[in-house]
Structure 1
Amino acid sequence: MSCVAGALFPACECGIVPIIRRLMSKGVPVYAAIGFMLTGPLINPIVIASTYMAFGNDFEMAGLRNGLGFLVAIIVAFSVSIFFKSGLLKENLHLPHSSSNNRSFLDRIWSMLTHSIDEFFDMAKYLIIGAFLASIVQVYMPAKTLLQNADNPVVSLLIMMGFAYVLSLCSEVDAFRGR
């Protein structure tokens, strides 16, 4: 059911972790959190549309990608439910619990804005580093090198998976990059 919920309430890879932490702090089992975490970033309208467009307006490819991703998420969540029965990860999960009921509306708005700004600056450094790495590859990696290896499907797949890993590409763009 958590995989279905992840598909119905999608979030990007960057936003899914805080959502999962909050769900786990509210008592959601680890296996359910894993299922939600695996389907949320994969099955959403933007990813489906980008896959469809990246593969030449091919509904079959978009369907296969999302269907296989959903199947893998179910298998992983089920496996986690079998092999990890304890409250794994919950013991170390300490989220700040502030009594928001005792604070005024303006205090809560200010707290939300402050938290958003802190999150922005925490994540901006990764955005800058990622843009820097992507620009290095774009400038210094000749396209000829990539095209030479494009004939071998195994080598080209490994190269593109390596790029996706190093450049931390998200689901919205990896279909275009892998094509």
Structure 2
Amino acid sequence: MTETATAIVTSKNLDDAYGEVRPAARVDPAELSNLPGTRQRLDENSGPVLRRYMQSAIDGVLLSVVLHRTIPILWAIDEEGSFWFALEEVIDTATAGYLFPFARDLLLKTTQAKLGHPAVVGATKARLGGEIYFDDGLDPPAWVLNNKSGRFGYGEGRRKEHLNSAHSDLAVHGIDVVVDLIVSGKS
């Protein structure tokens, strides 16, 4: 939940809005001690910048269009209701040094590790998580927010209303997305 929200928020409100807090289905060793370099909390400072960045793809900037066909933005709602986002990054397991953003279907070397959804929330519990990706096959082209996270996104009790709450967090900053609930799956 962004700092611009004015409602008094209780745990029950957050459960209704985003789902109950749950531990990650699994946390990889690299995610316990590393945060993505692109990790930010959605707030009054990052929201407008993210909106401008996402708008560049809508406006046809091919760099943004091509990158976000295969490199999604990860997002997660933490226990307190804050919306966090980052790219899924790959690090060197020996040095913890950043190597590159993870692209779908990329095979990693044994000396590399992804920083996924658990790292986005600092290896703590979360309410919900997923991906935001650009789909230039839609008419008109649009950003899509889904719950594609094997650690926080799938499971019993996930409802489209939970994703709609995350969409509302983005909409406060002028960011519009298409909401896509994935009923089950693996990330």
- Asked if these proteins are the same fold (TM beyond 0.5), I'd say no
Choose 1 or 2 for highest CA Rg.
1
Higher strand proportion (structure 1 or 2): 2
Higher helix proportion (structure 1 or 2): 1
TM-score, normalised to structure 2's length? 0.22
TM-score, normalised to structure 1's length? 0.23
